[in-house]
Amino acid sequence: MNQDNELQKLWEETFKVHSYEIDIKGNATLPVLCKFMQESASNHAEHLHVGYDFLKEQNLIWVLSRQLIHIYTYPRWGDTITIQTWPSGKGRMYWQRDYKILNEQNAVIGMATTIWFTVDLETRKPRKTDDFLTLEPGDAEQVFPYKLEKLNDIEKSDFSRTSEVSYFDLDIHAHVNNVRYIEWVLESFSYDFQKGYTLNEIEINFVSEARVGDAVTVCCEEKGDLIFLHNIVNNRNQKELCRVKTKWDHH
C-alpha cells in the first residue's frame, strides 16, 4: 500500500437528503444513513488503496461483521449532512472503522462503529489484515468507549416476519447487502409502532449470508423499555444470519 503523505486518515463526504430517502415523518431513514456511511467507507477505502478494485485482484472482499449505530437526531428532507469516517483500530484478523454524522452546523447527530474482516472468495475464510494492509490507526478516536460483544440470542418470539431474497437485495458479489438486513428488521415492526416511536440505536452481529431465492424470517423479542432483540434465520437450512438489538424512543 502506498504510504505517501497525501493519504487522508480522516475522510469527509457530504450528502443531501432527498424526497425519496425520507419516511412519513420527513426524516431520513436509518437505512439511508447506513448507505451514506457505506458509500463514504467505500470511497475512503479506495483512497487508501484497499478498496474493491485492490481486493478483487487478490480475490478478497471486505465483510462487515459487527456494527453499532446511535442516532441523536435524524436529518430531514433537504438537509445536507457530512459523514466523517476513519480507521479506528485493528486486530490480527479485523479492522475497525468509526463514523460521525454532522449536521449543517457541524453538530454531531449520529455516531457508528463497525468491525470488518477480509475474506477469501474461494476458501470463504478470513485473511490476516497485515498480509496486505499496512496503515496504522495509531491513537485514532473511537466513538464508543467499549468493544462490541456478541449479542444474546432471543429466548422467545413475540412477533415475526418472513421475506424472500430477491435480485434487488444483492450487492456486486451477489450477496445480500448488509443494509437489507436492517430493513428486514425494521419492516417487522407494525406501521403504528413505527409511526409512534423512533429508532435511536441498532447493534448487529452478522453471522452468515443469505442468497437469492432464500426465505428469511425475522423473529423479535421485546425486552422492555423499548428494547428488542432480533434473530434472522435462513428458512432453507435454519442457519442464523444475524443477531440484532434495537432501542427506540417515543416520537
The 10s digit of each residue's pLDDT in 197-242 is 999 999 999 999 999 999 999 999 999 999 999 999 999 999 999 9
Give pTM, 2 decimals: 0.94
Is the confidence at residue 25, as pLDDT, over 60? yes
Task: Give kind and range of the element (H or E) at residue 42.
Answer: helix 30-47
Estimate the crossing angle of helix 30-47 against helix 178-187, to 10 degrees.
170
Count Cα neighbours of 250 within 13 Å in the Cβ-side half-sphere: 1
Is the confidence at residue 1, as pLDDT, over 70? no
- Indicate where the chain has its CATH 3.10.129.10 domain(s): 11-131, 159-250
Please give the average per-residue pLDDT across 69-84, as a whole number: 98
Ramachandran class of 53: left when φ > 0, alpha when ψ lies in -120 to 50, beta otherwise: alpha
- Are the CB atoms for 69 and 246 separated by under 8 Å? no
CA dihedral 238, 247, 63, 178 (to 10 degrees): 70
- Report in angstroms the alpha-carbon separations of 26 from 7, 63, 73: 37, 32, 12
Mean predicted lDDT score pLDDT of the chain: 94
Amino acid found at 179:
V
CA 220 from centroid of its chain's CA atoms: 19
Residues 104-131 pLDDT 10s? 999 999 999 999 999 998 888 898 877 7
CA 192 from centroid of its chain's CA atoms: 25
Which has the closest alpha carbon to 184: 15, 25, 34, 83?
34
Residue 4: the pLDDT is: 47
- Report in angstroms the alpha-carbon separations of 52 from 69, 90, 118, 142, 173: 24, 19, 11, 25, 11
**11-131: CATH class:** alpha beta
The radius of gyration computed from the CA coordinates of the chain, to the nearest angstrom, equals: 18
CA distance 20 to 58: 37
Residue 5: the pLDDT is: 55
**159-250: CATH class:** alpha beta
